[in-house]
Amino acid sequence: MSIDETSGPWTRLDVSFTSDGDTCAAWLYLPPADGPVPVIVMAHGLGAVREMRLDAFAERFTAAGYACLVFDYRHFGASGGQPRQLLDIGRQLVDWRAAVAYARTRPELDPDRVVVWGTSFSGGHAIVTAAADDRLAAAIAQCPFTDGFASLRAIEPRTVAKISARAVRDVARRLRRRPPVMIATSGPVGSTALMTAPDAMDGYLALTPGAPTFSNQVAARIGLAIGLHFPGRSAAKVTVPILYCVCDRDSVAPAPATLRHVAKSPRGEIRRYDEGHFDIYVDEAFEQVVTDQLDFLRRHVPVAG
């Protein structure tokens, strides 16, 4: 049992659930409560694992009375799935549905007060998941990836060409049933990596201390899929309350495209921050965004039901 200095005891359990035949590892944070409580289902962004500051968010939510189910996608972290480091958008969306379904089976959790919370690439997954499941109580999308074309335009054309070439090699190896060709998830400006903005490598890798399963690489085939992925188009179909936390200086998921998409959510709320994509996980920006998210949760999914 862990102790929160301001709010008393909470419990974190190691749990797992099945997604399309593989096992997803998860943490289940439980506040001290007598009856079923609302639960926030959480997963990380591009190539990231739960130890990369999701525990910090979950601890704050649990201290406020919410349970949290924080999971690793298949092929990443402590979850199963081969090959390792395979970032497949369709499979990750299946994992989200499996996580929500699992949360609804736990007796400690209220099946009608499930919230999805995603950040960066998983912010887009949270939008798509919420659009497809109107039984959800609410959703939160933090610095969300919403528009593949906008994200590609933010990358130097030479880098895009190098990513594409490596992705084609990986697809060719997959067709021959060979191990994947890998590509760095983050790297210096001009390198062959998925995120090469000036703040990307330092900001991304700063989240990794305490993440023993993290590897800064993924199967390169995702490089052909990112530019064709537009989860923001699902924002207009989200009928539940949804909070969008948008970083105005976002180098990975450009804010103008995100704001165009998310403005179409019928019950959407937008909070904007004068921050970069990776700033929101730490320090004062973290404190501000958690405060705003808790305010949203208390209004739309109060702990007392």
Residues 6 or more apart from 278 whose CB is under 8 A from it?
Answer: 199, 200, 202, 203, 204, 206, 207
- Chain Cα centroid distance, residue 132: 17
Alpha helices in the chain (DSSP H): 54-63, 89-103, 121-132, 148-153, 157-175, 200-205, 255-262, 283-300
Q: Which residues pair with 272 in a beta bridge?
A: 246
Do the beta carbons of residue 267 and residue 241 sit within 8 Å? yes
- The average pLDDT across 8-16 equals 88
> Is 9's pLDDT higher than 80?
no
> Is 102's pLDDT higher than 90?
yes
Q: Provide the percentage of residues in the chain whose pLDDT is more than 90.
A: 91
Please list, residue by residue across 176-201, b when 16 or more beta carbons sit within 10 angstroms of its beta carbon and e when fewer do: eeeebbbbbbbbeeeebbbbbbebbb
What local confidence, expressed as pLDDT, does residue 305 receive? 58
Residue whose C-alpha is closest to residue 203's, from 135, 264, 119, 123: 119
- The average pLDDT across 218-230 equals 96
Does domain 2-154+229-300 match CATH 3.40.50.1820? yes
SS3 159: helix
Q: Which residues pair with 94 in a beta bridge?
A: none
Residue 1 confidence class, pLDDT cut points 50, 70, 90: very low
> Is 132's pLDDT higher than 80?
yes
Please name the amino acid found at residue 298: R
- Mean residue pLDDT of the chain comes to 94
Please list, residue by residue across 237-276, b when 16 or more beta carbons sit within 10 angstroms of its beta carbon and e when fewer do: ebebbbbbbbbeebbbbbbebbbebbeebeebbebebebb
What local confidence, expressed as pLDDT, does residue 143 receive? 97
> Is 210's pLDDT higher than 90?
no
Query: Per residue in 178-206, pLDDT tens?
Result: 999 999 999 999 999 999 999 999 999 99
Q: Provide the percentage of residues in the chain whose pLDDT is more than 70.
A: 97
What local confidence, expressed as pLDDT, does residue 33 receive? 85
- The average pLDDT across 143-161 equals 93
Please name the amino acid found at residue 51: E
Per domain, the residue ranges of the chain are: 2-154+229-300
pTM over 0.75: yes
Question: What backbone phi and psi angles, to 5 degrees, belong to 96?
Answer: -60, -45
Question: What backbone phi and psi angles, to 5 degrees, belong to 111?
Answer: -65, -15
N- to C-terminal Cα separation, the chain: 26
- The average pLDDT across 119-126 equals 98
- The average pLDDT across 254-271 equals 97
Inter-axis angle of helices 89-103 and 121-132, to 10 degrees? 60
Do the beta carbons of residue 124 and residue 229 sit within 8 Å? yes
- The average pLDDT across 71-97 equals 98
Q: Which of 68-77, 110-119, 156-165, 239-248 has the lowest mean pLDDT?
A: 156-165
Query: Per residue in 16-64, pLDDT tens?
Result: 999 999 999 999 999 998 889 999 999 999 999 999 999 999 999 999 9
Do the beta carbons of residue 168 and residue 243 sit within 8 Å? no
The CA angle 172-178-182, to the nearest 5 degrees, is: 75
Question: What backbone phi and psi angles, to 5 degrees, belong to 38?
Answer: -65, 150
